[in-house]
Structure 1
């Protein structure tokens, strides 16, 4: 699945993410990992960003957030809860 996901544009993966249930979303992000998920998270609707970050362990979150552009990182921190920012 990872090789297939690498061939799909990240915006298309974000669209797919929106149509999945929580278990399927978790499987998707565990499969593609934080590197590919970085671009996906950056284009998700604001209402899904916090949920999407919940699929990653702290070390993976540091990697993902560290790879975002400064603008995308700021945008994400503006739409997530205080609890998510602390995490």
Structure 2
């Protein structure tokens, strides 16, 4: 489940609200064990996703670095190359 959580900090352009929410959703899925909650648990699940997304947004906004922002396309190409070496073409 958590394989889809990606680093969101120090990219150009910065992480979007959608990316932050998707990571929060994956995190809550992982710790709850639910891919999709029952109707009984849906409200608590959605509240947790909202809270994790808010905390992630706050964290990303408060971090400071002197490193230049990373390029998303270059990082994706590096990941693709690593996967090709690991799993074959």
Q: Which category describes the TM-score, using the shorter chain as reference length? A: under 0.3
Q: Which one has a larger percent helix, Structure 1 or Structure 2?
A: 1
Q: Which one has a larger percent strand, Structure 1 or Structure 2?
A: 2
